[in-house]
């Protein structure tokens, strides 16, 4: 996104701050912030990745004397060492200001009652939603996750107007409210949903069942937490707070910037952070810049809702296959279920892609027609023709966690 002289000055300041940490002292050894005079110089700076942050455990990222740290958070390390992010008093306040702005963009006011269902603790979610609510002057109801009976009771008794949740928990609550027949006692107007990949179908169900407007809030613990961007009531794209961060969108395979408006990986450089400044941090979240001015009249640039992770993609014969793109194209083919698997094999010196999909149709003729349609649609959406293979419903393996979709058997 546009790099102004002021942004460049902020970036130089940020590099100077960052280089006080053990991590950036090494990572940026030999880099003089004064040499970053133009965007081209900035683009030569090395990326920072989650693995770097893990290796800096516990406080290698800390760029100020430890007595200035007022809080730490930790990102959910499902594998191995967690990442510890230290915050100064200013960092905590900046985060609250950004979060307050998110609520304001969603039309939430001091008169609202905000029920907070994301978790509290080392994770940044719950406390971020609360900080923003309190700074806004709204009433925070800090329930945290789980205990659906109590959630619904509080929602009714307190007259909650804003629900903050993950998309899956919002859906669960919506279903429970419908099941119990208490929808007429619920006063909800808005839902602020933490950024996960969630389909249009799910969004519509939550909105319809709860009777609310939904907002996508973006963020990650490494960079404050949730609250660094949100969509407004005019559009589904998220406004990003460029006074606190500089954003790039890169080709995840080459690391080069994508063309304006093209899809790629979001990379964030903090401009204000003191405790743990980050430079060119790879989020692995896939999005694209949404060009043009938003109907709300705000100048904050926008990105499309996150629709995948760069770690999930594979490259075949120069073409990148994203599971989210495949989800999308298959959902548009009548007769094909949402369950599919892609196998990539190396046969006789060639990469072969096979798409298995489930269908309720039984006759060979019908199945062959579906296979042809999938092959054609794949070519249009992904840019290469696979071999498509129809199987019966329930024939592909299921997993309780996230079901793997792409199996790369080439290596
Ligand atoms: Zn807007």
- Over residues 367-383, the pLDDT tens digits come to 999 999 999 999 998 88
Alpha carbon of 237 to ligand 1 centroid (Å): 8
Other Cβ atoms closer than 10 A to 194 = 24
For residue 108, report the distance from its CA to the centre of ligand 1, in Å: 15
Q: What pLDDT, on a 0 to 100 scale, did the predictor assign at position 199?
A: 66
pLDDT of residue 78: 55
Ligand 1 centroid to Cα of residue 164, in Å, is 20
407 CA to centre of ligand 1 in angstroms: 39
Task: Give CATH 3.40.50.12780 domain extents, the chain.
Answer: 1-311
**Two tokens, residue 149:** 């009976």
DSSP 3-state of 40: helix
Asked if 340 contacts 355 with a C-beta cutoff of 8 angstroms, the reply is: yes
Q: State the distance from the centre of ligand 1 to the C-alpha of 296, rounded, in angstroms.
A: 4
Return the pLDDT at 81. Answer: 84
The ranges of the chain with pLDDT < 70 are: 76-79, 195-199, 201, 399-403
CA–centroid distance, 101 to ligand 1, in Å, is 12
- Alpha carbon of 160 to ligand 1 centroid (Å): 25
Tell me the CA–centroid distance for residue 168 and ligand 1, in Å.
25
Query: 110: which 2 tokens?
Result: 């001091």
Distance from Cα 390 to the centre of ligand 1, integer Å: 43
**Distance from the CA of 135 to the center of ligand 1, in angstroms?**
22
Through-space distance between the first and last CA atoms of the chain, rounded to whole angstroms: 37
Q: From the CA of 234, how far away is ligand 1's center (Å)?
A: 6
pLDDT of residue 79: 60
**Signed CA dihedral, 366, 368, 372, 377: sign only:** positive
Scanning 211-350, the segments in alpha helix (DSSP H) are: 323-331
Q: Ligand 1 centre and the CA of 333: distance in Å?
A: 33
Alpha carbons 23 and 12: distance in angstroms, whole number: 17
Are 64 and 88 in contact by the 8 Å Cβ rule? The answer is yes
User: What per-residue confidence (pLDDT) applies to 277?
Assistant: 98
Give the number of C-alpha atoms closer than 13 A to the C-alpha of residue 111, restricted to the C-beta side.
3
CA of 121 to the centre of ligand 1 (A): 32
Task: Using the mean position of ligand 1's atoms as its centre, give its distance from the Cα of residue 75 in Å.
Answer: 29
Distance 228 CA to ligand 1 centre (A): 14
Ligand 1 centroid – CA 281 distance (Å):
25
Ligand 1 center–CA 297 separation, angstroms: 6
Strands 113-116 and 83-88: unpaired
Distance CA 14, CA 273 (A): 8
| Cα 291 to averaged position of ligand 1 atoms, centre (Å) | 12
Cα–Cα distance between 219 and 229 in angstroms, integer? 7
Superfamily for the 314-408 domain: ANL, C-terminal domain (3.30.300.30)
Start-end ranges of CATH 3.30.300.30 in the chain? 314-408
Q: From the CA of 272, how far away is ligand 1's center (Å)?
A: 23
pTM of structure: 0.83
In this structure, the number of other CB atoms found within 10 A of the CB of residue 389 comes to: 14
312 secondary structure, DSSP code: G
H or E segment to which residue 344 belongs = strand 336-347
How far apart are the CA of 298 and the centre of ligand 1, in A?
A: 6
pLDDT at 353: 94
* Of 154, 85, 89, nearest in space to 116 by CA: 154
Ligand 1 centre from 102 Cα, in Å?
Answer: 11
Cβ(296)–Cβ(231) under 8 Å?
no
Q: Which CATH architecture has domain 1-311?
A: 3-Layer(aba) Sandwich (3.40)
Distance 236 CA to ligand 1 centre (A): 9
Burial 239-258 (b: 16+ CB within 10 A, else e): bbbbebbbbbbbbbeeeeeb
Give the Cα separation of 54 and 86 in Å (integer): 13
Q: In the prediction, which pLDDT does 129 show?
A: 97
């Amino acid at each position: 996104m546009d790099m102004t002289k002021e942004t460049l000055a902020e970036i130089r300041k940020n590099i100077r701050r960052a280089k006080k940490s053990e991590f950036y002292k090494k990572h940026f050894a030999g880099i003089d912030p004064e040499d970053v005079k133009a965007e081209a110089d900035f683009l030569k700076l090395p990326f920072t990745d989650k693995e770097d942050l893990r290796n800096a455990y516990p406080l290698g990222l800390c760029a100020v004397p430890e007595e200035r740290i007022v809080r730490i958070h930790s990102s959910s390390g499902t594998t191995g060492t967690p990442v510890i992010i230290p915050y100064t008093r200013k960092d905590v306040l900046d985060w609250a200001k950004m979060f307050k702005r998110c609520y304001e963009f969603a039309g939430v006011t001091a008169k609202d009652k905000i029920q907070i269902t994301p978790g509290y603790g080392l994770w940044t979610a719950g406390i971020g939603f609360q900080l923003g609510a309190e700074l806004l002057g709204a009433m925070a109801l800090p329930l945290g996750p789980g205990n659906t009976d109590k959630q619904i009771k509080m929602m009714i008794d307190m007259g909650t107007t804003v629900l903050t949740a993950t998309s899956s928990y919002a859906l669960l609550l919506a279903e429970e409210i419908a099941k119990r027949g208490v929808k007429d006692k619920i006063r909800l107007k808005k839902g602020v949903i933490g950024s996960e990949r969630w389909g249009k179908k799910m969004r519509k169900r939550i909105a319809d069942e709860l009777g609310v407007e939904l907002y996508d809030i973006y963020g990650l613990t490494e960079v404050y937490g949730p609250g660094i961007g949100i969509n407004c009531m005019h559009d589904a794209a998220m406004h990003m707070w460029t006074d606190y961060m500089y954003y790039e969108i890169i080709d995840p395979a080459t690391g080069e910037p994508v063309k304006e408006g093209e899809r790629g990986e979001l990379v964030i450089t903090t401009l204000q952070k003191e405790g743990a400044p980050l430079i060119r941090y790879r989020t692995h979240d896939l999005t694209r810049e949404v060009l043009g001015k938003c109907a709300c009249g705000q100048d904050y640039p926008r990105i499309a809702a996150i629709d995948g992770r760069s770690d999930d993609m594979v490259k075949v014969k120069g073409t990148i296959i994203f599971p989210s793109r495949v989800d999308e194209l298959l959902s548009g083919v009548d007769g094909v279920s949402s369950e599919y698997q892609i196998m990539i094999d190396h046969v006789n010196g060639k990469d072969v892609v096979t798409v298995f999909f489930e269908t309720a149709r039984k006759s060979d003729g019908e199945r062959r027609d579906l296979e042809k349609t999938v092959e054609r649609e794949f070519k249009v959406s992904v840019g290469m023709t696979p071999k498509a293979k129809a199987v019966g419903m329930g024939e592909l393996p299921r997993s309780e966690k996230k079901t793997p979709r792409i199996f790369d058997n080439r290596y």
